[in-house]
Amino acid sequence: MGCGGVSHRPAPRGRITAQIDSKGAQGHGIGQKLVEAAEAWMRKKGCRLVEVTSNDRRTAAHAFYRHLGYERSSIRFFKKL
């Protein structure tokens, strides 16, 4: 399952906001196909960059995205109120 979108600030930028693969689906190339489909759709929308956010604890997800050519760019912070 996945979800993505495009924002225009100042140039179109894609974002994969969620991608969840069940344990049984992992390792079969389904996640990679979802990412490739999202990237193709974003290219058609004029995006030159795609972002993915992933919790620091999700080391397997980080390895997956690095395998697909993604690079780490930042760390996010939050505060519960």
Residue 18: give its domain's CATH number. Answer: 3.40.630.30
* Structural domain for 58, as ranges: 2-67
Give the per-residue pLDDT at 8: 58
Q: Which two tokens stand for residue 20?
A: 């969840």
Q: pLDDT value at position 78?
A: 79
Has residue 77 been placed in a domain? no
Distance of CA 73 to the CA centre of its chain: 13
Residue 80 located in a structural domain: no
Amino acid 1: pLDDT: 46
Query: Which tens digit of pLDDT belongs to each residue from 31-63?
Result: 899 899 989 998 998 888 998 888 888 898 899
Q: What is the pLDDT of residue 36?
A: 93
Q: pTM for the complete prediction?
A: 0.74
6 falls within a domain: yes
Q: How many domains does the chain have?
A: 1
Share the mean pLDDT of the chain. 81
CB 14 within 8 A of CB 39: yes
